[in-house]
Amino acid sequence: MWMMWMGRDRMMALLAATSAACLGSCVNFPTAAEAGVSYATEVVPWPTELECLNSANPTVAKEVLDQGTLTIVIAGGDNAISDAEWASYTPSWGHSKNSDRHLRFDESCFWRSPASAASCVGDDCRSIVEFDEHSWVELSKIHAVDCVPRSDDCNPSSVKEAQLAVIVTEKCHELVFVGDVLELAGPDGERAIMHATADGVVDLDVPLPAGWSLSERTLTEPLVLHPFGGGDGERCFYNIIRDQRAQSYHQTAYARATYP
């Protein structure tokens, strides 16, 4: 009934604003155990000859979460949203903006969307969806979120002080880091490389869980990061870790031969 007297414009503005804020309060992420997801912490076979789907390396990733499927899409295709439009863009109901990602890697190669087979070639490797009058490429799918230390209300958009959110993500994506990098280290041999910040500013003093540290180091040669999962490479997994300051990392070393 309230929709009848509120007015269409005001109602749509409210729905859009709710959607934009919904990632932190409306999406219930299962843990890896609850989702029944597990993978070998062995690098997948990576094609030696590959036509990367991304033609350039943007400094800001324009990412939107489909809250129904937990699929992350990125601006792409024939009608991708521009940087200028992105600044004021509010996603429609059922979608929410990822926090802005100011990227820190030097090169990347996007192989295929999660639903595409490892044998795909060319455009068959890219799943295109359209909404809000723009085209988007399916980049990754969130399967679960685990928090360190464990928390009953774990959510990557509202990471608590001295906490890390570990986002179990399916994504076939190569990242290359050169020179100075920021490395997150855990107490059981875990390692992760910072790949993005929310505002372009790094906070080395962000509160971390006990036994974890964040430090800068200089690579003596390029670090080429490929997804994990082992086997025939049909499925590509990364753990994307996020801290309280929305600084994000790709995990590069694990505590065990399987995750979790």
At 94-109, the pLDDT tens digits run 999 876 678 899 999 9
11 φ, ψ (degrees, to nearest 5): -60, -45
What residue segments make up the domains of the chain, in order of their start? 2-259
Count Cβ atoms within 10 A of the Cβ of residue 140 and give its class: 0-12 exposed, 13-18 middle, 19 or more buried.
buried
Return the structure tokens found at 220: 């003596």
pLDDT in tens, 26-74: 567 899 999 999 999 999 999 988 888 775 556 667 889 999 899 999 8
- pTM, rounded to two decimals: 0.83
Return the structure tokens found at 169: 């993500």
